[in-house]
Amino acid sequence: GQITLTMIKPFAVKQHNVGQILSDIEKAGFHIRALKMTQLPAEKAEIFYAEHRERSFFPQLIEFMSSGPVVVAMLQKDNAVADFRQLIGSTDPSEAAEGTIRRKYAKDKTRNAIHGSDSDDSAVRESRFFFSSMEEFVY
Ligand code: GTP
Ligand code: MG
């Protein structure tokens, strides 16, 4: 799989960490195929995170993810999904390795700075959720 989908989450956007996070992503060798800023209405966030709807943290996750703008990007690299999850670090920033994006920019398990797809199938589904073919570029 060459594609993964990322979202810089509301807290990191509000902290003005977008530029530094995109820089970290490009320096790690990811090619930005598509990019936008948008805000998810709760109903859209519920669809994006539907796999978690029975979890206790789901209402908090949806409230947070719809609380402000996110920066969404489709990224290309060999082994994109696994390499990107290594770059961002553990879900809980207190467990994230030194130098990872979550270690550097996350506040806690909800305000954890960034999303990364968990599989090639998720990457395709999430990319179609946000982008049309006219918004995707290889350059
Ligand atoms: P995403 O890239 O956002 O999908 O994170 P992830 O793949 O590292 O974690 P997962 O898909 O399991 O969970 C999605 C999001 O739900 C996480 O990023 C967290 O913000 C939140 N979450 C997951 N587990 C917990 C938890 O135990 N407590 C809280 N408060 N939030 C959680
Ligand atoms: Mg996930």
Q: List, for residues 2-61, the tens digit of each pLDDT value.
A: 999 999 999 999 999 999 999 999 999 999 999 999 999 999 999 999 999 999 999 999
| Separation of CA 42 from chain center | 17
Question: What percent of the chain is predicted at pLDDT more than 90?
Answer: 99
What's residue 27's pLDDT?
Answer: 98
Mean pLDDT of 113-125: 98
Ligand 1, residues 61, 65, 88: which to mutate, most atoms within 8 A of Cβ? 61
CATH number for the domain spanning 93: value is 3.30.70.141
Q: How many domains does the chain have?
A: 1
Testing ligand 1's pocket by substitution, the residue of 109, 119, 129 carrying the most ligand atoms inside 8 A of its CB is: 109
Indicate if the pLDDT at residue 1 is higher than 90: no
Complex ipTM: 0.96
- Residue 93: which domain range? 3-135
State residue 99's pLDDT score: 97
Alpha-carbon distances of 132 from 7, 35, 43, 99, 124, rounded to whole Å: 16, 11, 20, 33, 12
